[in-house]
Amino acid sequence: MSSTVHPVDEVLPLPRLATLGIQHVLVMYAGAIAVPLIIGRALNLESHDVAFLISADLFCCGIVTLIQSFGMTQWFGIKMPVMMGVTFAAVGPMVAMAAATPGPEGARMIFGAIIGAGIIGIFLAPLVGKMLRFFPPVVTGTIILVIGVTLMRVGINWIFGVPAGLTAPKLVSAEHAEWLNAVQGLTQGANPAVPPIPAGLQLAPSVNNAAYAPLSNIAVSILVLAAILLIAKFGRGFVANIAVLLGIVIGGVVAALLGMMHFDHVAKADWFSLISPFHFGMPIFDPILIATMVLVMIVSLIESTGMFLALGELVDRKVTQQSLSAGLRTDGLGTAIGGIFNTFPYTSFSQNVGLVGVTGVKSRFVCVAAGVILIIFGLIPKMSALVESLPTFVLGGAGLVMFGMVAATGIRILSNVDFKNKRNNLFVVAVSLGMGMIPLIAPNYSMWLPHAIHPLIESGILLATISSVLLNAFFNGASIDEAELREAAMTAEAH
C-alpha cells in the first residue's frame, strides 16, 4: 500500500474484498430482515408481498450503502466504511400506521410518509449540528431504551402468537356461536318472546386456542435463544458477531426437520426478479404521517452523527462539517429511495462499526463490496421467500436478543449520564420512560382524541422523544459537546 493512500481509501484485492464484504452482510443480515417481517405482518400482507418487502429492503440496503461508502458527488456519502440498514426507531410509528390502515393502502400511506420524511431529511442534514444540543446522552439513551422495550413486544408475540387472529389466546366457542345464530333465527322470525338482538353484539372469545403458545413452539424459541447465547460465549471474533444469524439458521433447520417449516412459497418464487418501484401503487402523502416520520428522521440523524464521529476516530479520519453533512444527507436520500422502492428509513448500522474495530480493516471499499452483495441478494426472490417461510417462533428467540440488545444499549448510554450531580436527569428518564409505555399499557387511551393525530401519539417512541427533549431542555438547558456525543456513540456500539 502506498504511504500516500489513507487506509480508508485502500482498495484491497478482490478475493479479500468479497470475503470481508460477506462478513459485513452476515453481521447486519438479521437486523436487516427483521423490520420488513414486522411491518409486512403488521400490515396483514400476503406471504409473497412480505417476501417482496425483504427483497426490496436488501436491495435498498445495498444501494444506500454504495452511496454512503463510495460517495455520490460532494453532496452525498461520507466515504467511510459504513453499512446502511433500516432503523428500528421507525418501527413503532409504522406499526401504529399499519394497525390503523392495514393492507396495501396502509403500505402506500407508510411509504408516502417515508418519502416525504426522506426529502425533508436531506434539507435537515446541514442543520443537525444546531439540533445536537437538544439530544445529549440522557435523551438519546432514553429514546433507545424505549425503542428496545417497545420492540420486545414484537419478539414476545413472535414466540407465543399475536393477541388477535388465528393465534389469539382465546377463540369464540363454536357452541356459543351456534346458540347465538339460533336466537338470531328466532328474532328474524319475529317471535315476540325473544327480544331483538342489540346492534353490534358480539361473542367474547372464551375457549383456549391450541395455536397460541404451544410447547413445541416455545421449545424451538428456547433452542434458538440458547444457541445464540452459547455462540456468543464460546464463539470468537466474527463467529461471535453473527451469533443471532447462526441461531436463526439453527432454529430454521430444526423446525424444518420437525416438519414445522414449509417451503411451498420458496418453490414458487423466482430465481431472479427486479425490484419495481411503487409495488403497492402510488404513495399517499398524509401531512400528519410525514410529520411523525420526520421526528423519527431527526432521531436517526442524531444517532448517525454520533456514529460517524465515533467511526472517524476508529479509522483515523477527521469528520469535517462537510463530510458529516454529506453522510447525513445520504440518510435522507436513502430514506426517500426506500419509500420509492417499497421499504423503510435507513441509517448507519453500528454493529458493523464494531466489526471494523474487530477486523482492523478500515477500507471503505469493503462496504462497497458488501453493498454489491446486498443488491444481488435483493434480486434473488427465493432467498427472501426462504426468510419469510421461517416460523415466527424461530424468529422469536432471536427477537428477544435483537430487541433486548437495543434496550440494553440505551441502558449503556444512560450509565455514563451524570445522575449524581444532576439529579434532575432522573426525572427526564423516569417521565419519558413512562410516556413511552402509555401506548403499550393503555393502547386505547387515544380513543377520544382527534383521529388525525393518532399515528403521532400511538407511538411510545415518539412520545418518549418529545418528552425527553422537552424535559432535558427544561432541567438542563440546551448544551452538549462533541466529545460527549462521540462517547455515547462508542458506548452504543452494540446497537
Query: Cα separation of 303 and 226, whole Å?
Result: 31
Query: Cα separation of 84 and 32, whole Å?
Result: 9
Q: What percent of the chain has pLDDT over 70?
A: 93
- DSSP 8-state code for residue 326: H
Q: Which helix (H) or strand (E) holds 170?
A: strand 170-171
Tell me the chain's radius of gyration from C-alpha atoms: 24
Instruction: Give, in order, the Cα–Cα distances in Å from 323 to each of 126, 134, 354, 400.
Output: 10, 22, 21, 36
Q: How many CA atoms within 13 Å lie on the side-chain side of 251? A: 32
Tell me how many degrees the CA angle 52-53-58 measures, rounded to the nearest 5: 100
Examine the pLDDT at 337 and tell me if it is beyond 90: yes
Q: Who's near 420: CB < 8 A, 6+ residues apart?
A: none
Q: Mean pLDDT lowest for which of 11-20, 126-135, 212-221, 334-343?
A: 126-135
Taking CB atoms within 8 Å and a gap of at least 24, the contacts of 11-18 are 11/363, 11/365, 12/361, 12/363, 12/365, 12/366, 17/363, 17/365, 17/366, 17/368, 17/369, 18/369, 18/373
Q: What is the pLDDT of residue 490?
A: 54
Q: What residue spans of 135-270 are helical by DSSP H? A: 137-160, 174-188, 215-234, 238-241, 243-257, 264-268
Taking the model in full, what pTM does it have? 0.79
Question: Which of 297, 371, 375, 316 is closest to 341 using CA atoms?
Answer: 375
Tell me how many degrees the CA angle 432-244-155 measures, rounded to the nearest 5: 45
Q: Which helix (H) or strand (E) holds 213?
A: none
pLDDT digits (tens, 9 = 90+) for 345-355: 998 877 677 67
Amino acid letter, residue 156: I
SS3 115: helix
Query: Cα separation of 243 and 232, whole Å?
Result: 6
Query: Cα separation of 390 and 395, whole Å?
Result: 7
Amino acid letter, residue 158: W
Question: Which of 374, 439, 335 is closest to 110 using CA atoms?
Answer: 335
**Structural contact between residues 54 and 265, judged by C-beta atoms closer than 8 angstroms:** no
Instruction: Give, in order, the Cα–Cα distances in Å from 292 to each of 221, 245, 304, 339.
Output: 34, 31, 19, 15
Cell numbers that stand for 369 in this block: 463490496
Examine the pLDDT at 134 and tell me if it is beyond 50: yes
Q: What percent of the chain has pLDDT over 90?
A: 33
The larger pLDDT score, comparing residue 43 to residue 495, is at 43
Per-residue pLDDT band at 1 (split at 50, 70, 90): very low
72 backbone dihedrals φ, ψ, rounded to 5° = -145, 95
pLDDT digits (tens, 9 = 90+) for 470-489: 999 999 887 665 566 655 55
